[in-house]
Amino acid sequence: MSTTWLPCGVYHQNYSQDQAWFQTNFIRGKMILLFAILFIGIPLVADDYVLSVCNQIGYTVLGALGVQLLIGFCGQVTLGHAAFLAVGAYTSTLLILEFPWPQVLLDAGLAYPISIFVAALVAGIWCVLFGLPSARVKGFYLILTTMAAQFITVDFIITQYVSQIGGRGQAFSLPPGTIKIGPWVIDSDLKVYYLMLVLAILCVSLVVNLLRSRVGRAWVAIRDNDISAEVMGINVIQYKLFAFFVAGFIGGIAGAFWISNLAAISPEHFPWFWSLWLVGVILIGGVGSIHGVIFGSIFMVVVMEALQLIIFWFMELGFAWAQPLFMDFLFVKEAAFGLAICAFMIFEPNGLSYRWWQIKNYFNLWPFSY
């Protein structure tokens, strides 16, 4: 049996082969090359600006992964996911700054890693609370419920109460040396980049393995037809709430990671627009696809950065109209976001992941790729 290419020339003899991560030597080689580029190639050639863009992409991947799980794989629409990123970020920050850690844990640099896990648990539980209405409502009504999570969590609880802890006002300052894993002080874009890679790989692996399990098949069944899923014996409410927990858990990790990239944290880092942005990422990347999360994140971050650089370039050339656009780039970004969504819904409704799937099939089936 040939093990070089898929799908032509390869067949599977058992279920473990069918569900294997790397099914051929060619795929294994591609993944080794990818990891070499990510862990060695990019750090060697990239400057701080490129690394900061990569970190923004990784943060978007972590944030959109939970949204993809809920919308793309379980059929539960959410428009307030930034709230759970905020819960994770503030939980981790408060644990680092306010919790009386034993000196042995501080010396070992374990405060931040433990805070990431606790923040993920808190965000997951908080997400379940706002997922409870999914037992009774869906569609438009569930959208309103998840929007309420954003306004209740960020605009009310965090802004009015959590931000006042310790008399700090609105922002929590994160002094240099605060974010630390073992002896490794995360104080540069390169170190944040490596942390992002590890967390992104772990979270993607978690979701992919869940989707290959009975849990993932139950989520897809609920997404396609929840009544039929219930008839087949699936506990719909239980699996929906578990999906909300996992989505919140990953969102908490994203928020706890993002504080490593900030000098101070405030509610302004988690606006409602960020929730819409994460939904737009999976719409552009492709709903119901892990590849869609990655492609959508890369597209959105890189396009917006390129647009900002183009406007800055015109401003440097002396064009008067470019300066107000550069100063108010947030509005330009929102307009570009809306145009991108409209364009993809019209011309590429299945997203970038579908186009990637077509390209792979073309080469895998060549010369019979028609």
Residue whose token pair is 């299945």 = 350
Q: Is the pLDDT assigned to residue 8 strictly greater than 70?
A: no
Q: What is the mean pLDDT of the chain?
A: 90
Nearest Cα neighbor of 87 from 150, 169, 29 is 150
Cβ neighbours for 180, distance < 8 A, ≥ 6 positions apart: 109, 111, 112, 186
Q: Are 275 and 81 in contact (CB under 8 A)?
A: yes
Name, of 105-109, 129-133, 160-164, the range with top average pLDDT.
129-133
Q: Range with the lowest mean pLDDT among 126-130, 344-348, 358-362?
A: 358-362
Q: Is the pLDDT of residue 164 over 90?
A: no
Highest-confidence range of 65-69, 267-271, 316-320, by mean pLDDT?
65-69
How does pLDDT run across 34-81, given as a tens digit for each residue? 999 999 999 999 999 999 999 999 999 999 999 999 999 999 999 999
Residue 164 and residue 194: Cα distance in Å, rounded? 32
Quickly state the pLDDT bin for 355 (edges 50, 70, 90): very high
Q: Please, what are the domains in the chain? A: 48-365 (1.10.3470)
What digits encode the pLDDT tens for the residues 215-257?
Answer: 999 999 999 999 999 999 999 999 999 999 999 999 999 999 9
Q: Is the pTM for the entire model greater than 0.75? A: yes
pLDDT of residue 2: 47
Separation CA 104–CA 84 (nearest Å)? 30
CA distance to 63, 81, 162, 337, 345, per residue, from 277 (Å): 10, 10, 25, 8, 15
